[in-house]
Amino acid sequence: MNILTIENLRKTYRTGAEELDVLQGLNLAVEEGTTAAITGESGCGKSTLLNLIAGIDSVSAGIIRCGAFQVEKLSEEELTGYRSGVIGLIFQFHFLLKDFTALENVMIPSFITGAGKAEAEAKAASLLEKVGLSGRTHHYPGQLSGGERQRVAVARALINDPLLILADEPTGNLDENNSLMVQNLLFSLVGELGKTMVLITHDRSFSSRADRVLLLERGTLKSL
């Protein structure tokens, strides 16, 4: 069964009189429990594609199905539930809230989907343990290292048990050791939890760990 199906996806950006056709009839199917890595040169549209799947940006044409959702047809209200309940997002920058502890940051998405506090706290603590941060739960982002912050972001992406994990250069800001740690963590958690993931990375050793590697070029994907 496919968790994600994309058909004939087009995205054109208009800036003043200029038009940029970033995605030009892109197709993609990702089967449940598999991982796909997407590579391609800077500016080819990788983040654009991920943002469209996540419902952060709107398509120009085409269909995006994720689980039972047809993303381009969702209302703003439905999109909020989709983004926080169905998708687990990890970006290059962690986007943790600085006035909240690691534990609270991991818990936040579960409040959006209406989980109870005790349940959310227990789950967040267990995820922080899985990412090796059980000793850092009450630290604020400013008291954590870059690698630790990104591990908190990984735990946060998993709190609502997402159908699909979307990661956009999740190790792009990390040094080699921290990068390796986050790569190992991500793939071991995805394997352990049987998750489906679309990963964007320039790093060949990282992308080679995915079940498939795809190249985004001239607005469409091809297998590598």
Ligand X SMILES: Nc1ncnc2c1ncn2[C@@H]1O[C@H](COP(=O)(O)OP(=O)(O)OP(=O)(O)O)[C@@H](O)[C@H]1O
Residues forming contacts to ligand X in the complex (CB under 6 A) are 13, 15, 20, 22, 40, 42-48
Q: How far is the CB of 130 from Mg ion (least distance, A)?
A: 27
DSSP code for 185: H
Q: Is the distance from CB of 128 to CB of 156 less than 8 angstroms? A: no
- Closest of 168, 141, 144 to residue 52, by C-alpha: 168
Rounded Cα–Cα distance for residues 145 and 152 (Å): 11
Closest CA to 168 of 46, 68, 57: 46
Sequence-ordered alpha helix ranges (H) in the chain? 46-53, 76-85, 102-112, 117-130, 146-158, 176-193, 204-207
Cα gap 164→180, rounded to integer Å: 22
Among 2, 5, 47, 173, binds Mg ion (CB under 5 A): 47
Nearest CA among 56, 30, 51 for reference residue 196: 30
Question: Among Mg ion, ligand X, none, what does residue 45 contact (CB within 5–8 Å per kind)?
Answer: ligand X
| Partner interacting with residue 48 (select from Mg ion, ligand X, none; CB below 5-8 Å by kind) | ligand X
Taking the least distance from each CB to ligand X, the nearer of 155 and 182 is 182
Interface region with Mg ion, contact rule CB under 5 A, candidates 2-10, 20-28, 47-55, 80-88: 47-55
| Among Mg ion, ligand X, none, residue 173 binds (CB under 5-8 Å by kind) | none
3-state secondary structure of 5: strand
**Which residue do the tokens 């795809």 mark?**
214
Residue closer to ligand X (CB basis): 44 or 189: 44
Min dist CB 108 to Mg ion, Å, is 24
Q: How far is the CB of 184 from ligand X (least distance, A)?
A: 23
When the beta carbons of 6 and 106 are compared against ligand X, the nearer one is: 6
- The residue (of 39 and 105) whose beta carbon lies closer to ligand X is 39
What tokens does 212 get? 């498939």
By a kind-dependent CB cut-off of 5 to 8 A, residue 22 interacts, out of Mg ion, ligand X, none, with ligand X
Nearer to ligand X, 38 or 152 (CB): 38
Closest CB 200 distance from ligand X, rounded Å: 7
- Residue identified by tokens 């690691």 is 102
Residues that bind Mg ion (CB under 5 A): 47
